[in-house]
A and B are shown apart, each in its own frame.
Chain A
């Protein structure tokens, strides 16, 4: 599997920050889409399925935590990494409780972020493979629970 297959959606209202970050991630072989608020992120996820979302918390309009909650309802197997400059331990716990993959402080080291994106993608891929195995065996309930991270 090549890096180019990983589809990343960046969600952040700081346009200059997220555009530059997107450019740097593309230089590292990732397919990057960018939206600038939570509402745009949800519209995007309804239309297509990114592998990994890198999501800011404190944005005008919909808060990142609400976006995470909705994304997990819409597409439970999409991985979400929180990247925030305003996060506490409590936010970290809440994001993980809602199914977030990781919680990072902004500005993050680019290599570390790329590593986390790859880890998130790998976990998603492996989970999908397990779900397929169960679905092919006709055990659909278990397959669904795997996708929803309930198992």
Chain B
């Protein structure tokens, strides 16, 4: 099959049912391009995060070495040690925090390259929360996890799960007033695993999802063997295992 690229991908938007090949793209071709665009973004994210991580690694070891040398020479120059110890510790631990973020971004990017893999729900949800924490902080909403410990590994698409969770979370962030909490709970009841996003605080009720059409979320979930339940108070993604 031949694919023809148009000069700007923006022109593809809203043309889901084109049938002609030859100068314009079919919906199948558009899907092909979209999927590969996502994989491309994933690879760039992952490689970029890896590069950042390497730089952070060098800075962390160099600052760690300074810390070691200062500590070794404490007896010779105690005042210098006292003055340097706190800022050095701050540099050292902040590099650790930054490296944790870039590691998470790297794993997220690599997730875009694979469609189905064995995944740990708690870990998958946790990784998403690391990446989106800033969105909640800006709205003064606290993200809280309440993970059941013995959740079994399942086969699935981690990126799709994160995407659905992101859509539901964004919706809840929009409805929840400042100083509220958004609790991410995982639970297992018999053969059913569920991920719940439970808002705590003052919540604006709404008849439908505003950030992402619920029907679309339902379709995506169904295609991946999941079901989503959305209502005014909470959002759930259910897995049958």
Identify the A interface with B (CB < 8 A): 14, 16-17, 20-21, 23-24, 27, 58, 85-86, 88-90, 105-107, 109-110
- Tell which of B53, B68, B103, B123 touches A89, judged by Cβ atoms closer than 8 Å: B123
A14–B110 contact, CB under 8 A?
Answer: no
Contact status of A14 and B57, CB under 8 A, knowing A20-B65, A89-B123? yes
Contact status of A17 and B58, CB under 8 A, knowing A85-B53, A90-B117? yes
B46–A89 contact, CB under 8 A?
Answer: no
Total number of residue pairs linking A and B with CB closer than 8 Å: 58
Q: Which B residues lie within 8 Å of A89 (CB)?
A: 118, 120, 123
Interface code B49-84, partner A: CB below 8 Å = 1, 0 otherwise?
A: 010011011101110110010001000000000000
B96–A58 contact, CB under 8 A?
Answer: no
Contact status of A14 and B123, CB under 8 A, knowing A88-B107, A109-B96? no
The B interface, classified by DSSP as helix, strand, loop or mixed, is: helix
B58–A85 contact, CB under 8 A?
Answer: no
Contact status of A85 and B54, CB under 8 A, knowing A90-B117, A107-B99, A109-B96? yes
A85–B61 contact, CB under 8 A?
Answer: no
B53–A106 contact, CB under 8 A?
Answer: yes
B57–A106 contact, CB under 8 A?
Answer: yes
B50–A17 contact, CB under 8 A?
Answer: no
